[in-house]
């Protein structure tokens, strides 16, 4: 697993041992970033269920202004810290340990809003819709922003979740990428 493009291109990222974290493959990451390229420059990123921090780090490498990494696994937080340090994006990174829903509320109370929200939750655990619902309720996505969800192909997501509509969905092996944005 590596950074694919930008200022940190080619740098290898650490991943925790074991099956608790399922890092995004380079192939899927490359596909995601080709789909969202116009949104990246100078954007504010929220990387939920961040795992290794791969998606947020890739966005920073490609010109995002700031990334917030959220995970509830202490080992993942340790790996994210090491990866942002190694790739030279530490100054543009905020790493938060805890429950995704509580931290979204905390970010909202601090009036922090995002241009891109990445979500790569544990597969088939029912975490996607509640997470999008709290993003909607707390109004943390900017009007022109997008939510990028990486999920199992068996986890079929609805066309609409709250005020968000699915713009695009692509399958890569057993992984689906769904992109949501606010309805016009």
* Domain limits, the chain: 26-182
For residue 176, count other CB atoms closer than 10 A to its CB: 19
Predicted pLDDT of residue 20: 56
pTM: 0.93
DSSP code, position 121: P
CA-angle at 170, arms to 28 and 9, nearest 5°: 25
Predicted pLDDT of residue 19: 45
Residues of the chain scoring pLDDT < 50: 19
Predicted pLDDT of residue 22: 61
Predicted pLDDT of residue 40: 95
What strands, in cross-sheet order, belong to the sheet with 160-161? 93-97, 66-71, 44-48, 114-119, 141-152, 175-182, 164-172, 160-161
CATH code matching the domain that covers 26-182, chosen among 3.30.365.10, 3.40.50.10490, 2.40.50.250, 3.40.50.150:
3.40.50.150
Predicted pLDDT of residue 4: 81
SS3 category, 54: helix
Predicted pLDDT of residue 1: 81
| Closest-CA residue to 131 (of 109, 112, 103, 167) | 103
15 near 1, Cβ under 8 Å? Answer: yes
> Backbone phi, then psi, for 15, in 5-degree steps?
-135, 145
């Amino acid at each position: 697993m590596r950074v694919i493009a930008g200022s940190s291109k080619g740098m290898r990222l650490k991943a925790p041992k074991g099956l608790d974290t399922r890092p995004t493959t380079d192939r899927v990451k490359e596909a995601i970033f080709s789909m969202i390229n116009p949104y990246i420059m100078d954007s504010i990123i929220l990387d939920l269920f961040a795992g290794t921090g791969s998606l947020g780090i890739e966005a920073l490498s490609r010109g995002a202004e700031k990334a917030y990494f959220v995970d509830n696994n202490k080992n993942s937080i340790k790996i994210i810290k090491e990866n942002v340090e190694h790739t030279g994006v530490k100054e543009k990174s905020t790493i938060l340990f805890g429950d995704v829903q509580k931290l979204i509320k905390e970010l909202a109370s601090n009036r922090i809003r995002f241009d891109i929200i990445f979500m790569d939750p544990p597969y088939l655990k029912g975490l996607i819709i509640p997470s999008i619902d709290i993003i909607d309720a707390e109004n943390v996505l900017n009007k022109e922003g997008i939510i990028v969800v990486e999920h199992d192909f068996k986890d079929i997501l609805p066309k609409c979740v709250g005020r968000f509509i699915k713009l695009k969905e692509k399958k890569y092996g057993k992984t689906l990428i769904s992109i949501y944005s606010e309805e016009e």
